[in-house]
Structure 1
Amino acid sequence: MLGVVENHSLPRTAAFFDLDKTVIAKSSTLTFSKSFYQGGLINRRAALRTAYAQFVFLVGGMDHDQMERTREYLSALVRGWNVQQVKEIVAETLHELIDPIIYDEAASLIEEHHTAGRDVVIVSTSGAEVVEPIGELLGADRVVATRMVVGEDGCFTGEVEYYAYGPTKAEAIKELAESEGYDLERCHAYSDSVTDLPMLQAVGHPHAVNPDRALRREALARGWPILDFHRPVRLKQRLPGFAVPPRPALVAVAAIGAAAATAGLVWYANRRRSTVA
């Protein structure tokens, strides 16, 4: 428990949260692939590939090279997507897809930081069109996310305007600290990946959450707290008054997503067998 209310005569503070596998149990971007498939933005082959990427992410996370390949693939994939359509799909499926995979422990921490008078900032490599609605769902005060270039036709060009990854996350929170008056020495940060080491080093209270092996080693060497989050819970279970209107049309989306995920696992297993052979 954090348990200390901020002294408002002191500089402001914040808690910075990575999103994927820190606040939610899956990759936020890849989670929506089933909805993008149903909405006609991606084909079956792309859906299978993103299902496989989600599987790799869940099993062991992604290292730097895998993240870079995924970024390049997704940047090319979204070229020509209508931004408004993406936002509408995310808004329509947000509760069905994200609500069930929010870690109870993370939601509690967010509440505790707010109670203590700290701002909560989500800092994610995923795109702003996905992260901003999730941040709103979580009650975050601010969001830092990757931004894609949007053309005059309202579609993604495939170029990246700002990539929230590695050192750029640390730079972003330092800029926020300057503009918002945060005292970083009194701020908290949470992440699961060693790629966020610069962000964790930028604050006085870093925490490793469900850390990959490299971050676990760093956390142990530096004496940082290591937190294990493993209880995804729906917000309506935490907040009895929380209600989401039913969306019968989305039942097919879940079915397609499950089929794609299963096919991705089969493809992965066949790939491993062929590699061994």
Structure 2
Amino acid sequence: MSDASRTSDAARGHLVFSDVDETLISVKSMFDFLHYQLVRRHGTVGEEEYERIMAVIRHQAADGKPRADINRFYYRIYTGDSVAEIRALADDWFAERTASSRGFYIESTREALAAHRAAGATVVLVSGSFPPLLEPLAREVGADTVLCTRPLVADGRYTGKVGTPVIGEGKRAAVLRELDSHPAIDPRDCWAYGDHISDLPMLELVGHPVVVGDDEELRARLAERTRGVRA
């Protein structure tokens, strides 16, 4: 990295990583959009298909299937769908949710990210969701970068496959790469926001982890980490 780039990094101060679902917004974006687009395209049949899919996902979760595998299952639903059509539906979904749903944002997190930006931070959204849902959100909150699961595309259509799901250790790996690309910034000066124990691998990488919500396991694990650092 050039001296000029290092100076630019230092001037920005710190990086702020934020999970999205139930951390920045109050819904699970992937499932909320799944319901929206199925009903929008197929009406009652779409509603029935949504319930069938969610029953499968609930069964997988109850059986202890890793969240990364459930993430892969989700994106198989879009096999053969037009990327352009899904993006247009996602734009409509976002416009409707932000226009008519009070409480779409978790305001404490949104305000915290705005304060970080005002202090010169680089804001990074980190999510297992996918670009059509996250890019409008990133523009709205002023995030600089989106680290997310990216479905593979061929001939303008989703293949049903993904690269590495950005969940759990996938979040850790994505955040580490982002930190490595800013060597002038000390991770101890950085912040991260998450709501679920699966966010722990990301939160452990920074000096200022913040738990949004009431996941007691996550709070306890971070408290143990803090005691270990002080010891």
Give the TM-score of the pair, scaled to structure 1.
0.68
SS of 1:117's equivalent in the other structure is coil
Partner of 1:162: 164
| Superposition deviation, residue 74 in structure 1 | 1.2
Partner of 1:33: 34
| Superposition deviation, residue 53 in structure 1 | 8.6
1:213 aligns with 2:207: no
Relative to structure 1, the CA distance from residue 103 to residue 64 in structure 2 (aligned partners, 3 Å threshold; closer, same or farther) is farther
SS of 2:126's equivalent in the other structure is strand
| Superposition deviation, residue 50 in structure 1 | 5.6
Percent of aligned pairs with the same residue? 26
Q: How many residues align?
A: 212
Distance in structure 2 (CA, Å) of the matches to 1:159 and 1:217: 35
Distance in structure 2 (CA, Å) of the matches to 1:83 and 1:126: 15
Structure 2 unaligned spans of 5+: 1-7
Partner of 1:117: 120
Task: Quote the RMSD (CA, aligned, Å).
Answer: 2.9
Partner of 1:190: 193
| Superposition deviation, residue 218 in structure 1 | 0.9
Code of the residue aligned with 1:27 in structure 2: it is K
1:83 aligns with 2:79: no
**Which string of whole-angstrom CA distances, capped at 9 and with x for unpartnered residues, describes residues 84-106 of structure 1?**
11110111221322463101111
SS of 2:163's equivalent in the other structure is strand
Distance in structure 1 (CA, Å) of the matches to 2:131 and 2:53: 19
Partner of 2:15: 14
Code of the residue aligned with 2:19 in structure 1: it is D
134, 157, 162: which one pairs with 2:137? 134
Q: Is the 8 A contact 1:11 1:183 kept in 2?
A: no
Distance in structure 1 (CA, Å) of the matches to 2:140 and 2:13: 23
| Superposition deviation, residue 211 in structure 1 | 4.0
Structure 1 unaligned spans of 5+: 1-6, 225-277
Partner of 1:179: 181
| Superposition deviation, residue 27 in structure 1 | 0.2
Code of the residue aligned with 1:199 in structure 2: it is M
SS of 2:179's equivalent in the other structure is helix
Relative to structure 1, the CA distance from residue 50 to residue 12 in structure 2 (aligned partners, 3 Å threshold; closer, same or farther) is farther
| Superposition deviation, residue 170 in structure 1 | 1.6
SS of 1:157's equivalent in the other structure is strand
Relative to structure 1, the CA distance from residue 64 to residue 11 in structure 2 (aligned partners, 3 Å threshold; closer, same or farther) is farther
Where in structure 1 do 4 or more consecutive aligned residues deviate above 3 Å? 7-12, 49-54, 61-64
| Superposition deviation, residue 25 in structure 1 | 0.9
Give the TM-score of the pair, scaled to structure 2.
0.80
Q: Is the 8 A contact 2:204 2:222 kept in 1?
A: no
SS of 2:81's equivalent in the other structure is coil
Relative to structure 1, the CA distance from residue 17 to residue 219 in structure 2 (aligned partners, 3 Å threshold; closer, same or farther) is same
Code of the residue aligned with 2:141 in structure 1: it is L
Q: Is the 8 A contact 1:192 1:212 kept in 2?
A: yes
| Superposition deviation, residue 67 in structure 1 | 2.6
